Structure 1
Amino acid sequence: MNIQNKVAIVTGGCSGLGLATAIMLSEQGAHVHVFDIQEKSEALERLHTVTYHQVDVTNEEHVRKAIDAIIIADKALHICINCAGIAPAAKVYGKSGVMSLDLFKKTIEINLIGTFNVLRLAIEKMVLNEAIDSQDKGIIINTASIAAFEGQIGQAAYAASKGGVASLALPLARDLARENIRVNTIAPGLFETPMMAGMPEKALKSLQNMPEYPKRLGLPEDYAFTVKYLIESTYVNAECIRLDAATRLPAK
């Protein structure tokens, strides 16, 4: 798929992986629409080719209204990148007792149900696109995490939510094969994102030493580069790509 002049949604696009992706798509000539529950960020404000929508990804009405506005403005939808998510840490049983059920539900609702909510409503518009010479009508790229496969202590809710996202790729790709819509997943490792902000310096240095090579945290631009590859590589479908510099998470 050629990115130029395509219409894209990026959830969680006000910061981190989503912001880097919105910037990349904008630079490649796409019409980019950012969905985020946060207020429009200063960095996003500088991107005049990006349209911001304040959207709760778990809210069907919010998402449907925003997508309808995209169709009115740009007449089509081709790309959906789901980056919105949270990463709370809590043991199933710890010093304060059992994990809050509300915390578990909230994590699943935002990371898994929110991802599914956006992609299903995006697909509803993608199927209306014309497929020229059997090329893509659309592409969905979801964000899992290596915690889906090696969840650490305190990551039960997060790992469960991201495991669900990772497992969506194949059945969705099979469901949508006849519609010429591809579905792929990126599972980032340890990345420099707002989720890392506020961590003690000692903890950050320990994390930076975990990747085998290169010995650094991933950059949001690394994620955006992988998004670009997946959009442009028509034969890649139903994949979950680990983006982690050979990191394997220990228990803690």
Structure 2
Amino acid sequence: MKIENASAIVTGGASGLGFATAKALTEKGAKVALFDLTGDKLEASAKELGAVAAPCDVTSAEGVSAALETAIAANGLPRIAVNCAGVTHGERIVGRNGAASLDAFARTVQINLIGTFNVMRLVAEKMAHNDALDDNERGVIINTSSVAAFEGQIGQAAYAASKGGVASLTLPAAREFARSGIRVLAIAPGIFSTPMMDLLPQDIQDSLGAKVPFPSRLGKPAEFAQLASHMIENTMLNGECVRLDGAIRLEPK
């Protein structure tokens, strides 16, 4: 699929991997709408990119539906959707203070997995009404998993479970949407430089980067965006969760 002039939605688009992806798509000529929580960061990011600000909570059916209408009114029916909205949570299942917080586990799954599914189902419904392009393609959806889906560390139960769910969604969704000409993919990034990572001291960031076999550094958001762009443009890519991790395999802790 050609990115130029395509209508694109990026969740979590105000910062991190989402902003980098939105920036890359904008530079390739896409008409982009940023889905993120209401706030100055969303407005500033949308202004910087010349994108549409579509505030919403990805876990809300009504909120995402309203944001979709905002995006469609400005840019037309979506052909591209990249889900980057997500949170992290670290906690042992049974720690020194007892059993883990069920609310924290549920919140992580609610945002990372259910939020992704919520956006995917509503966007796919709209994409199916697009005119068919080459190979009868009407759209592509890319979700964000994590290497933690496959090698979750101690303390990552909630995060690993949520990202494992995202990875597992990929193939059944791709098979179902095939009849509508919609591809579904996922990216499983390793240790990347994001706003959350930037809060850590530099020596810790360097230590984490050194664990990556090659290149021995943190991943760059622009590299995530580069892979997402290639996935959009390569129609044969479908139903796959692709690791983007410099060959790292996470240790137990």
In the alignment, what sits opposite 1:14?
14
Deviations 1:175-196 (A, max 9, x none): 0111110000000000000121
The answer to whether the 8 A contact 2:54-2:71 is kept is: no
Calculate percent identity across the aligned residue pairs: 51
The answer to whether the 8 A contact 2:52-2:74 is kept is: no
In the alignment, what sits opposite 2:48?
46
Find runs of 4+ consecutive structure 1 residues off by over 6 angstroms: none
Distance 2:74 2:54 in 1: 13
Q: Displacement of 1:71 after TM fit?
A: 2.1
Distance 1:92 1:199 in 2: 24
Q: State TM-score, norm by structure 2.
A: 0.96
In the alignment, what sits opposite 2:237?
236
The answer to whether the 8 A contact 1:57-1:63 is kept is: yes
The answer to whether the 8 A contact 2:206-2:217 is kept is: no
Q: Give the SS at the match of 2:174.
A: helix
Matches within 5 A, 1:117-136: 117-136=118-137
Number of equivalent positions: 251
The answer to whether the 8 A contact 1:19-1:44 is kept is: no
In the alignment, what sits opposite 2:152?
151
The answer to whether the 8 A contact 2:13-2:34 is kept is: yes
In the alignment, what sits opposite 1:29?
29
Gaps of 5+ in 1: none
Whether 1:5 aligns to 2:33 is: no
Q: Displacement of 1:34 after TM fit?
A: 0.4
Distance 2:118 2:15 in 1: 21
Q: Which amino acid aligns with 1:63?
A: V
Q: Displacement of 1:88 after TM fit?
A: 1.1
Q: Give the SS at the match of 1:46.
A: helix
Gaps of 5+ in 2: none
In the alignment, what sits opposite 2:143?
142
Distance 1:28 1:138, change over 3 A: same
Distance 2:200 2:250 in 1: 17
Distance 2:88 2:190 in 1: 13
Distance 2:189 2:46 in 1: 22
Superposition RMSD in Å = 1.1
The answer to whether the 8 A contact 2:32-2:75 is kept is: no
